Chain A
Amino acid sequence: MPELRKDPIIGRWVIISTERGKRPYDFKKVEEPAENPAECPFCAGREDSTPPEILALRSQGEPNGPGWQVRVIPSISPFLKRDAELWRKGIGLFDLIGARGSHEVVIETPQHIANMADLDSSQIEAVFSAYIQRTKELEKDEAIKYVLIFKNYGYKAGGSKIRHSRSQIIATPVNLKRVKEELEGARRYYDYHERCIFCDIIRQELEDGRRVVLEEDGIVAITPFAPRFPFEVWILPKKHRPDFSRIDEEEKKNLAVVLKKILTKLKSLLNDPPYNYVFHTAPFRREHKGYWTTIEDDYHWNIEIIPRLTQVAGFEWGTGFYICPVPSEEAAKYLREEK
């Protein structure tokens, strides 16, 4: 019997389709377009083939030369720009504003490695440091409301033909719809229960155990109760904190170890699938209209990882109602057993 499940945070229903029940090896290997590593503009030694760097973590060398560990550059085709004016206008009933913001690329390694799963956890830790430094810097711009950190790995997940491991940072002058929904859901729960819904989910999942992939040094990885996609994974810190950018050194180190383990499991279980990850964190808190004061207590940052194994069809777009062919309990079981 198929089952309907509701995401307790944003209220989205998904269908867990047992009829279409799939196992990891039922998903076809996704082919990647051919690439020529010799043309990669992101490798060490080719710094002049990118726009000048915004930030680099380096122990040696000059800016825009080799010697870096992680390097952040502006996107070549930015959606949003630092120097754009934040004008606002209405045309009849429509609202328009200038595309002020930032669009940056984080080059995660000087070597030509495609999948973050293959980086050392210390390298992943350095990537997190770059995320945090950039977020704190962008927070100083009062026009920016949110910083979104995400990764597109593989062509089907929106990556380019050049496979050098990297992620993106987008700073926006508006609050994003998806983030708003999460915040509103979390606040609704907090208003009634005076507890953080994410803390409650973590507690319930650890007691139940069926959807836990791993728990290590204060970091928990679960397959969500109401997943949109097969083998979707959430990584949550047990320590309640609304902002990713405020984590301490210890958490950063533990998080890198867990993220590497999860990405490695997905890689070996699902034949190196394309995937996206997205950091969900609280918006910058400044006094403005609609501001609320409980974010500190009700929101909890987390990472969402989505392997891209299925096509999203008209049904999903039209309704925000997803059909997932793998129950999360089974996905968690496969992932627990995988190395």
Chain B
Amino acid sequence: MPELRRDPITGRWVIVNKETPFTPKDFEVVHDEFKGEENCPFCYGHEHMTPPEIEAIRPEGSAANTEGWKVRVVPNKFPALKIEGELDKRGEGVYDKSRGIGAHEVIIDSPHHYKGLSELEEEEIQFVIDTYLSRSLDLRKDRRFRYILIFKNFGSIAGSSLEHGHSQLIALPMVPKNVREELKGAARYIGYHERCIFCDIISQERGSRERIIFQNRYFIAFCPLFGRFPFEVWIIPVNHNCDFGLMSQEEKPYLASILKQTMGRIKEVLDNPPYNYIIHTCPVNIIEMPSGYHWHIEIMPKLNRIAGFEWGSGFYVVQTPPEEAAKYLRKELSV
């Protein structure tokens, strides 16, 4: 029988297909054809094709906007938001609006045109994480910003227009709706139980092990019981911390390692699918830190078309139960 499951954080229900679960082979994965390095603005020697860099990890003595860098951050050429100016909040009858103030940056993960995240060395992934952290800490100094969103789109189906591996960062002047909902759900739980809901999920998952894919000293990667998408994976730090930007030095190599393992396994089992990942973290420049919140990464392979039903209802149909997805991703079930 199919089953309905509720996300204990946001209250969202999902339908899980337990009768005829899809295997990785049942999804139609769309692959992009490589266009090559020639006109790629993110390759070595093409630094002039992007706006001037905001920061980069590069060997000592190497000049900005020249080759030799490990990770490079540039402003988005077609920014959704503008960095200069004031918000100028206004009302118009029942409506509210403001000017589109914010930052929109592109983080070029590595100089390698053809390498996905899992094909980078752990050290290179650590450079990417270092850059995420440094941008997050830098942008929060701007008091206009309330949220710093770091995410990655891979493949055209997942919304990426350039094939050279990159991540994006958007700094927003308000806390987005989904984040507010997560914070509210977490606050409700801690208000009653005096425990962090994410910490409770971690201990429940570690107890059953059914949905865990990888774990190391500081992180676990698992398929959440209530995930919205087939093969959705979360990577979450075991130690309670609401703010990604405040991750410890010690945790960093462990994050790089589990990220490489997880992305590599998704690529292998699901035939290099398009995906999005998003770092969920607490807002910045707010008065009180949300004690019941716990930062984590949500990875969503893009395996099916989202239809009218999902849009209209916020109710998702998951064709592979997370318990089975975890088995495939642990390679206990072969594809």
Answer whether residue A80 sits at the interface, using C-beta atoms and an 8 A cutoff.
yes
The interface on chain B, measured as residues whose beta carbon lies within 8 A of the other chain's beta carbons, has a size of 73
Closest chain-A Cβ to B208's Cβ sits at a distance in Å of: 8
B314, A178: Cβ atoms closer than 8 Å: yes
Answer whether residue A280 sits at the interface, using C-beta atoms and an 8 A cutoff.
yes
Most chain A beta-carbon neighbours within 10 Å: one of B10, B98, B157, B312? B312
Q: How far is the CA of A80 from the CA of B315 in the complex (A)?
A: 12
Q: How far is the CA of A306 from the CA of B310 in the complex (A)?
A: 12
- Determine the chain A residues whose CB is within 8 A of the CB of B170 once the complex forms: 315
* With contact pairs A20-B78, A177-B314, A313-B276 given, residues A99 and B4 touching in the complex (Cβ less than 8 Å): yes
Most chain B beta-carbon neighbours within 10 Å: one of A92, A277, A306? A92
Answer whether residue A291 sits at the interface, using C-beta atoms and an 8 A cutoff.
no
Stretch at the interface among B258-266, B300-308, B325-333: B300-308
> How many A residues touch the partner, as a band?
35 or more
Answer whether residue B240 sits at the interface, using C-beta atoms and an 8 A cutoff.
no
Residues of A contacting B: mostly: mixed
Q: How far is the CA of A94 from the CA of B9 in the complex (A)?
A: 10
Residues of B contacting A: mostly: mixed
- Determine the chain A residues whose CB is within 8 A of the CB of B220 once the complex forms: none
Residue-wise, chain B 139-166 has the 8 Å CB interface mask toward A (1 for contact) of: 0000000010101110011111000000
* With contact pairs A19-B78, A158-B306 given, residues A8 and B96 touching in the complex (Cβ less than 8 Å): yes
Q: How far is the CA of A176 from the CA of B147 in the complex (A)?
A: 27
Answer whether residue A218 sits at the interface, using C-beta atoms and an 8 A cutoff.
no
Most chain A beta-carbon neighbours within 10 Å: one of B4, B85, B179? B4
A19, B8: Cβ atoms closer than 8 Å: no
Q: How far is the CA of A96 from the CA of B321 in the complex (A)?
A: 13
B153, A313: Cβ atoms closer than 8 Å: yes
A318, B151: Cβ atoms closer than 8 Å: yes
A95, B312: Cβ atoms closer than 8 Å: no
Answer whether residue A46 sits at the interface, using C-beta atoms and an 8 A cutoff.
no
Answer whether residue B178 sits at the interface, using C-beta atoms and an 8 A cutoff.
yes
Q: Output the nearest chain A residue to B170 by Cβ-Cβ distance.
A: A315
Q: Could you list 15 A-B pairs, sorted by A, with CB under 8 Å?
A: A15-B80, A19-B79, A79-B2, A93-B201, A96-B4, A96-B5, A150-B308, A174-B13, A178-B314, A178-B315, A314-B153, A314-B276, A319-B147, A320-B176, A320-B177
